[in-house]
A and B are shown apart, each in its own frame.
Chain A
Amino acid sequence: MRALAIHKEEVTMRSTTVRHLVGGIAALACALAVVAGTASAAPSGPPIRIGSTLALTGPLASTALVHQLVGDIYVEQINKKNGLLGRPVEWIVKDDQSKPDLARTLYEQLITVDKVDLLMGPYATGAILSAMGVAQRYNKVLVHHTFGIPSLAKYDAQFPTWSLGADPAATFPNTLFDALATTPKPPKTVAIVTSKFPSVHFMSLGAREAVKKRGLQEVVFLEWDFGNRDFGAIAARVKDANPDLVWVGAIGLEGNQLLDAMKKIDYTPPLHFYMYPAPGPMAQAPEAKNALAATIFEEHAPYLNNPGAAEFVKLFNERAAKAGLPYTAVETQAAASYSAWQVLDAAVTATKSLDDKVLAEWLRKNKVDTIQGKLRFDGPSNYGDDLMAVKQVQNGRWVTVWPKSVAAPGATLMTK
């Protein structure tokens, strides 16, 4: 009897233990379900494939690298959340070798062979123009980040995220001269020297018009071919002309090359502006003190208050350092690139569709919050406002100084 009692007790204990165990597992499962419910569910199903090219080699590679990092960061971020429409995102990026003709072929491949669901634009005007032609042929939406000549964007399903405005040659020089007009000694004489690189040349011609309209004096106008190596004579001519302001229609390293040549003849321009300089080399060059340039984003408030900006900046700084980039700050290139991903994401999420026609329709009618501000696509060539601001090298870093609405806290335009 006693043995039977003991056996019964053991059975009871065992069944109690099993009940406790099952109860525990159930509770754990419930807890996990609650946690999973509050966080995003992992994306599942076949991936949404987004195709693009970038100039991973060739003369544009230094900047395209920034766009590659940005794309990697965005895709990683989105896949950590719920993907797109609950599906993981896969980014297929091919090397167009800085060649627009190759970009055309590769976009064709992305659509017809890789059968990507969506397209993302390549880097730089020439390649984007090529990709635009292909996108148009297949009625695909093309969101792009670095198209420099808005008047050439004729396709109605292309969406630019570099907020140049529809006519930057008219609007941006005015922004700059408005900024300079606030200084104690606004410029009266201007030297305009410019690369013949298409996306900066037309801006320099716009600056000439602005100079004329404002009654300023153009003391010298010089043009050079992109790829020029010797800036000695150009620097000497600028020095000879002795202007109050030098407008340098430079792209990439050209600005530094001219600055270097000016330094060698002991000349420092009173005011100097560079259209699209290589941000790192210019910020770090001592002779670039107070140099001005155009921007759509810098690493300070109020830009950092825009949705996603602070987190992205932190991630980009880390990744750029890890990738061995000498300049790790987020500025125009990275910001335009991240905005492009935000725009594509916003359109797909809002419409719950991958249909290019639906996406294009939605984008034309809606504004999208991006790290550079609200973008709209309802103006000429799908361009919205010209959000370009004026930045300046101060203490070895770029800070936005104009307009006041986006200027870094406490920053003012320095003239000495």
Chain B
Amino acid sequence: MGLPSLSLIAQSVLSGVFIGALYGLLGLGLSLSWGLLRQINLAHFALAFLAAYLCYQLSTVGGIDPLLTLVVIVPGFFALGVAMQWLFARFEITAFNSLLVTFGLTVIVESLIQSIWTADFRRLESTYGNAKFKLGFLYIPAPELLTLVLSLSLAFSMWAALRYTDIGKALRAAAEDGPIATAFGVNRQALALLLSGACAALAGVAGVCIALSYTLAPAQIYGWIGVVFAAVMMGGLGRPLGPIVAGIVIGVSESVTMALTSPSWAPLVSFSLLIVVLLVRPSRV
């Protein structure tokens, strides 16, 4: 095999950045709920796919622009997240139990999706799907670019909100030491409802991005879990910028591996990177 061309490498890196951005967007809500609420929310993936199907339905049947579906999906999913957190608090679900409960919820959502949209493949055809830009010899597809922009802006917004707003500081304080935060007047329950709602809304945004770029099938919910968990753990729990950075690192590493060696080696990359990070900086998790 000859040397790979510059366009091959550059296009592969770009492709890795784009998929990494989606890993990051999916990981953002997961990381925040894990780090700040101590909930390992597997249902996050199910919510993302539920949002993807809703986007498909609203666009295909309702004729609404896929991006405009966010107007319905984001508040709807926020409410769903709040309701979930209320139930979790009501039944005092611990971190470990949250893994089991949310796995159960994932199965329920998968069944719900299958009963409404069947197990067959669904593809959202939109004007965004065919739109792309050319920058020199690089092709930039519009849906992936949109995902990147949304991921970065949401990650930075969450970072800024946690760092500079009173609510953000209270959330971090509550995660650090709940009883002390309560003693200082922090309403932990209300904050938890707010954060859970925000995480579910983030899942909704990720779902719309998935619908724009991928063909949907209910069982695909599980296909993302491994690599997104790797991104979340590498990025550090409760850190909004972590998953996006780790996601892009994983995406680019996988993509470059595929461009230079056998594509079947790519899945090894994300988990090898995770193992290295855990060995070098175990405190991140």
A residues contacting B by CB (< 8 A) are 56-62, 64-65, 98, 196, 222-225, 227-230, 232-234, 236-237, 239-240, 253, 256-257, 261, 263-266, 278, 280-281, 284-285, 323-327
Bound-state CA distance A59–B121 (Å) is 11
The 7 closest A-B pairs by CB, nearest first: A232-B15, A61-B119, A233-B258, A224-B263, A59-B219, A233-B12, A233-B259
Bound-state CA distance A253–B258 (Å) is 19
Q: A-B pairs with CB below 8 Å: how many?
A: 128
Q: Using known A-B contacts A236-B7, A236-B259, A264-B139, determine if residue A229 contacts B119 with beta carbons closer than 8 Å.
A: no
Interface majority SS on B: helix, strand, loop or mixed?
A: helix
Q: Using known A-B contacts A228-B266, A237-B259, A253-B215, determine if residue A284 contacts B123 with beta carbons closer than 8 Å.
A: yes
Bound-state CA distance A265–B66 (Å) is 23
Contacts of B132 in A (CB 8 A): 264, 266
- Contact size class for B? 35 or more
25 contacts between A and B (CB under 8 A): A62-B118, A62-B217, A65-B118, A223-B264, A224-B263, A227-B223, A228-B267, A233-B12, A234-B258, A236-B11, A236-B15, A237-B258, A237-B259, A239-B8, A240-B8, A257-B215, A261-B15, A264-B132, A264-B144, A266-B139, A281-B121, A281-B215, A323-B118, A326-B121, A327-B120
Cross-chain contact B118 with A232 (CB below 8 angstroms): no
Bound-state CA distance A236–B5 (Å) is 10
Contacts of A229 in B (CB 8 A): 19, 223-224, 227
Cross-chain contact A225 with B120 (CB below 8 angstroms): no
Closest to B14 in A: A232
Cross-chain contact B267 with A232 (CB below 8 angstroms): no
Which B residues from 53 to 85 make CB contacts under 8 A with A? Answer: none
Closest to B111 in A: A57
CB < 8 Å neighbour of A225 from B19, B251, B267: B267
Bound-state CA distance A285–B121 (Å) is 13
Q: Using known A-B contacts A227-B223, A229-B223, A236-B259, determine if residue A281 contacts B123 with beta carbons closer than 8 Å.
A: yes
Is B218 on the interface with A (CB-CB < 8 A)?
A: yes
Contacts of A234 in B (CB 8 A): 258, 263
Say how far B258's CB is from chain A's closest CB, in angstroms: 4
Closest to A239 in B: B8
Closest to A58 in B: B219
Say how far B16's CB is from chain A's closest CB, in angstroms: 7
Cross-chain contact A57 with B121 (CB below 8 angstroms): no
Closest to A56 in B: B119
Q: Using known A-B contacts A57-B111, A240-B8, A256-B215, determine if residue A62 contacts B259 with beta carbons closer than 8 Å.
A: no
Cross-chain contact A265 with B11 (CB below 8 angstroms): yes
